[in-house]
A and B are shown apart, each in its own frame.
Chain A
Amino acid sequence: MAHDTHDIHRSRAEFEFIKKKRAAEMRGQLTSFAMMIFLTLIAFTLVAADFSNYLIVPIILLLAAIQVVLQLYHFMHMSNKGHGVMAFFMFSGMFVAFLTVLAMVTIVWW
């Protein structure tokens, strides 16, 4: 809201610090971007190499999970300060959903 905004004055040291931090963040983003491309390559290679489906499906699911975590932390700023509660809720939600799916798979459809 308009009346809540106020100007921010930064000292030279603060400015340098923020610049350094942003550079580090950029580095993290580029690294994880490279990793994601690499993970995608692995996935495509697995399919192209015609491995058994029982091997391909779990590995692709695992790679997908890694991608999600990389996305969340490096591109959606979960690594930044003040995201603790959000992370807690997301992981609790995932945990509950995982338990539910696991139970369904094992006791209903198995």
Chain B
Amino acid sequence: MSSNSQKKGFGATIWDYMTTVDHKKIAILYLISGGFFFLVGGVEAMMIRIQLMKAGNDFLSAGTYNEVLTMHGTTMIFLAAMPILLAFMNAVSPLQIGARDVAFPFLNSLGFWLFFFGGIFLNLSWFLGGAPDAGWTNYASLALASEGHGIDFYSLGLTISGFGTLIAGINFLVTIINMRAPGMTYMRMPLFTWTTFVASALILLAFPPLTVGIFFMVFDRLFGANFFDVTMGGNTIIWEHFFWIFGHPEVYILILPAFGIFSEIFAIFSRKRLFGYTALVFATILIGFYGFMVWAHHMFTVGLGPTANAVFALATMIIAVPTGIKIFNWLLTIWGGSISFTVPMIYAVAFIPSFVAGGVTGVMQAIAPLDYQLHDSYFIVAHFHYVIVGGVVLAILAGTHLYWPKMFGTMLSEKLGKWTFWFFFIGFHLTFFIQHFLGLMGMPRRVYTFGADQGWDLFNAISSAGAFFMAIGVIILLVNVVMTVAKNERVGNDPWGDGRTLEWAIPSPPPFYNFAQTPLVRGLDPYWIEKMEGNKEGMVYAEPLGDIHMPNGSIIPFVISFGMFVAAFGAMYHMDDHAWALPVLIVGLAITFGSMLVRSLKDDLGFHISKEELIADNERIQKEARALEGGKKGGLK
């Protein structure tokens, strides 16, 4: 069969990625499209900060500001942060547990394409009569009153991409439960795999409430139902509950993989085993559970009554305990380590104070009476940007540098990486630290402008200046990526020199079958154990060399998702009595269900890589490795 070293034309490469079921290529797809949406969300953020640069600015109209603000939040959470984290989960988790692929490679591809088409659908709203404008939380009273199709783009787009995320979550759960290499017990799994596991469990339990909520919203808006319409006996608060039953676990879906990435970084670049591995694992699981018991702290001012507020306030404060355990464990991992301040490590060290600041303001807001003062002010904006940018985005940037060699086989420039870091880090604190004080001074969030007599001019100007610093940092990162791709200096298995887990024991990028022989895991940090015992191969094997069964690629996931995309347009314009809307809806669903039928009826048993091909491929890998040794050695050391 095919070897991955073949040179392909441009069209063939595109076709290859459209049909791929390989977790490493799907990771690259997630990274590229998540990165694209990250830039889109970033441009929207810049528009917000330009509008608020000075009092009474008219860069954006009030209506456009609402759209930009809504799309900034929605894009960053659903289409940027989560997919980029899914990129790292796809790229690294199967390698860390010694698996050849995820449990359901076909579904993995389907999950990506659903997310992709959902995201495209949502963003097409800009060109088709206006984007959603009810905030990323889309509170029902506001959303039902919103004119045009903005909210419909939101609800249908998120339904489609939500299917994709749910599929991805289930896939990782099954993969991690069933496909661990011999010896890889639960308590030997690397922390990034653990956090992937818990985050996937949260996806499994948290996305259904969102789907139900959005379903009600679609029916209210498009088909004349009255779930949220108070005048017709509905209840508008139900949406808030549904949204936050999903929404609070959602922030843990984002932050747990971020914690995982940082845990890996601290261990690698301190050259120490993670301090308190067991405690870190149990803290992760605990955070997962608590995530479902606190949603109403987003709704303290709704009027739930003092008992409910007290219960949820207490539950919220408890979360600080496992999170604190993690912080101390990371500090003690660094303590006494042989630290090298590479770019990922700098991000990780900077993450600790930034995230703790966000956590502390979170506990402040957990105090319900104080929250009555802080609610809907810039203090809240500052808080959640401290946890999401200071936690998730720093982890994404750190992970990009850390895993770039494993995903692409080249190293991002350390020098440019440090420039990115300093611009981004200084810009981040400049933008958001001062927003705490704007909030305390009474500036409300989600308001498109402010008056010159309110005394908020200087702080807003400083905040906007910080946003430009962050933008410069991201631009330097893009330059770094382009230069690295252009230079194309290949690196070996373990470019950082101190890799501990299985993914660093195999070539960068790994062959498409990952492991020619399934590894045998002899303890926590298996690659480190082998290195310390002088094993040149970096692995011991659990099986003799033999044929490997691999899945075939397929275009069907793309077609299924495209059908949903078409059907969504039909459903949306059906409300306007367009004659063509119903046929479009039917054709779209026919494409989706038709391709599902094809998939069900056609047996696709995959193919086998023979032993001889594996041996030949291994010789090629050895030759490339020797060439790398002989020439200028890539990597850090």
Contacts and interface: CB of A to CB of B under 8 A. Distances in A.
Interface of A: 1, 3, 85, 89, 92-93, 96, 99-100, 103-104, 106-108
A108 B205 contact: no
Given A99-B292, A100-B245, A106 B308 contact: yes
B634 interface: no
With a 10 A CB-CB cut-off, give which of A3, A89, A96, A108 has the most chain B CB atoms.
Answer: A96
A109 to B, nearest CB: 9
Contacts of A92: 201, 205, 289
30 contacts: A1-B549, A1-B605, A3-B547, A3-B549, A85-B177, A89-B173, A89-B201, A89-B204, A92-B201, A92-B205, A92-B289, A93-B204, A93-B205, A96-B205, A96-B292, A99-B292, A99-B293, A100-B209, A100-B245, A100-B292, A103-B241, A103-B296, A104-B241, A106-B308, A107-B296, A107-B304, A107-B305, A107-B308, A108-B237, A108-B238
B484 interface: no
A96 B290 CA distance: 10
Interface in B103-153: none
B contact face: mostly helix, strand, loop, or mixed:
helix
A55 to B, nearest CB: 27
A106 to B, nearest CB: 7
Interface string B292-315: 110010000000110010000000
A96 B209 CA distance: 11
With a 10 A CB-CB cut-off, give which of A1, A104, A107 has the most chain B CB atoms.
Answer: A107
A108 B289 contact: no
Contacts of A96: 205, 292
Interface residues of B, number: 21
Contacts of B201: 89, 92
Contacts of A89: 173, 201, 204
A108 B238 CA distance: 8
Interface in B172-213: 173, 177, 201, 204-205, 209
Nearest to A96: B292
A91 to B, nearest CB: 11
B413 interface: no
A96 B246 CA distance: 12
Contacts of A107: 296, 304-305, 308
A92 B245 CA distance: 15
Interface string B261-305: 000000000000000000000000000010011001000000011
Nearest to A93: B205
Given A93-B205, A108-B238, 8 more contacts: A1-B549, A1-B605, A3-B547, A89-B201, A93-B204, A96-B205, A99-B292, A106-B308
Contacts of B19: none
B211 to A, nearest CB: 14
A110 to B, nearest CB: 9
A106 B204 CA distance: 25
